[in-house]
Structure 1
Amino acid sequence: MKRTATRSKEATHDRIVDAAARAIRRSGYNGTGVADIMKAAGLTHGGFYAHFASREALLAEAADRAGSEAVQSMESVAAAVPPEQAFQAMMQAYLSEAHVKSIETGCATAALGSEMARQAPEVRRAATRRIKEMIDLIARQFPDWGEPGVHERAMVAASTMVGALILARAVDDPRLSDALRESALHHLISDD
């Protein structure tokens, strides 16, 4: 009986974190309240403290989950093609029009990066860990992985793709949005 209750509590906790991961990408850290998250998870606000010590603890888990989803998505893209095509496939998926439109389920760094500096240390720590994972994933796609300069190139690629996605989402001109994505993609792939 106790095992069932534990599993139920874990499933509820997971549901709350999922709802929070989507909410922070959609509305930002400051635009997302505990009551909204609990409602999205189908729960009452009163149950929050049975799962989290604080709002920051929830946001840290949500940032970790959202970042993990982005890394897993890119890992899946890379695994679906031959290794020599993985970097290009990852960049095409990341800089796609579909990704521009999926802020709620897309890259957490692009959705939340500008807010990160003002977050609690545990939230920043979770996001930093996932950003490092993304950079490492990108570095592993280069044929000269492990050689000097590859990690730096991966950091430039990550910075370029995130920046291009942020700008493509920011503008209200669809042609400019497309041009921002396409020029970044061309630059990234031609340098590969």
Structure 2
Amino acid sequence: MRYASEHKAATRRRIIEAAGRRFKRDGLDGSGIATLMKDAGLTNGAFYAHFESKDDLIANAVTDQLDKLRAGINAQVGDRAGLDRFVRSYLSPAHRDNLEDGCPSAALLDEIGRCANPARDAYTTGLSAIVDDIAALLAPHDPASARVKVLSVFAMMAGTLQLSRALSDRQLADELLERGVRDVLAIVDAEH
């Protein structure tokens, strides 16, 4: 019996990870259950053993993607220099050009806003944790005072990345990312 529960958990994890990559690449509506299950190396029939609905999978994938983003940020951002590196990495051509492994916000934000409450709640919880971690770095004695500023900066970063992805003029897209780095770091440096 123990093997079955471990196997089921591993299978569920595989579905969530495959779905997270596929959702970021093709969008939430552009990814049907058959495709998601094929990506995970499973049949359609296995889906409902793990999730109540596609909305349930979306909420779980959003949670997983934001948990991974948070872990990556926390591993990189231990101090102000780490924050600078993170901003430069986030607003880079490499991140822009890699939807599948990139930030779920930049890839899915507009769609998450139209999702059912479980996905939006998962997004709110995950992003709030990221924002709170960065706010604690910027204002260790009063993180709440930096929370809205960090949220605004994150929105600027995600929007800049989205716009850069949408531009067909590669030079303009690269210039936008460079300008975004300067603007974000200037806001971070400004007193709140």
TM-score exceeds 0.5: yes
Change (3 A) 1:145 1:20: farther
Residue identity (%): 34
User: What residue in structure 1 maps to residue 146 of structure 2?
Assistant: 150
Pairwise CA distance, 1:174: 0.9
Q: Give the Cα–Cα distance (whole angstroms) in 1 for the partners of residues 55 and 143 of structure 2.
A: 39
Q: Is the 8 A contact 2:164 2:177 kept in 1?
A: yes
User: 1:141-171: per-residue Cα shift (whole Å, max 9, x none)?
Assistant: 3156516742222122111111111111111
Q: Is the contact made by 1:91 and 1:185 (CA closer than 8 Å) also made in structure 2? A: yes
- Counting matched residue pairs gives 188
Partner of 1:3: 2
* Coordinate RMSD, CA, aligned: 1.5
Aligned to 1:180: 176
1:120 aligns with 116
Q: Would the alpha carbon gap of residues 3 and 182 (structure 1) be closer, same or farther in structure 2, given more than 3 Å must change?
A: same
Find the counterpart in structure 1 of residue 155 from structure 2: 159
Q: Distance in 2 between matches of 1:84 and 1:38?
A: 41
Structure 2 contact 139–145 (Cα < 8 Å) conserved: no
Runs of 4+ in 1 over 2 A off after TM superposition: none
User: Which of residues 131, 134, 140 in structure 1 aligns to 2:136?
Assistant: 140
1:10 and 1:144, CA in 2 relative to 1: closer, same or farther beyond 3 A?
A: closer
> What secondary structure does 1:141 align onto?
helix
Q: Is it true that 1:31 corresponds to 2:27 in the alignment?
A: no
Distance in 1, Cα, partners of 2:137 & 2:160:
20
Which residue does the alignment assign to 1:53? 52
Per the normalisation by structure 2, the TM-score is 0.92
CA, structure 1 residues 142+57, in 2 after alignment: closer, same or farther (shift >3 Å)? Answer: same
Whether the 8 Å contact between 1:38 and 1:44 is mirrored in structure 2 is yes
- Aligned letter for 2:4? A
Report the TM-score, using the length of structure 1 for normalisation. 0.92
Q: Which runs of 5+ in 2 are unaligned?
A: none
Bigger mean CA offset, 149-158 vs 37-46: 149-158
Which amino acid is the alignment partner of residue 182 of structure 2? H
1:109 counterpart residue number = 105
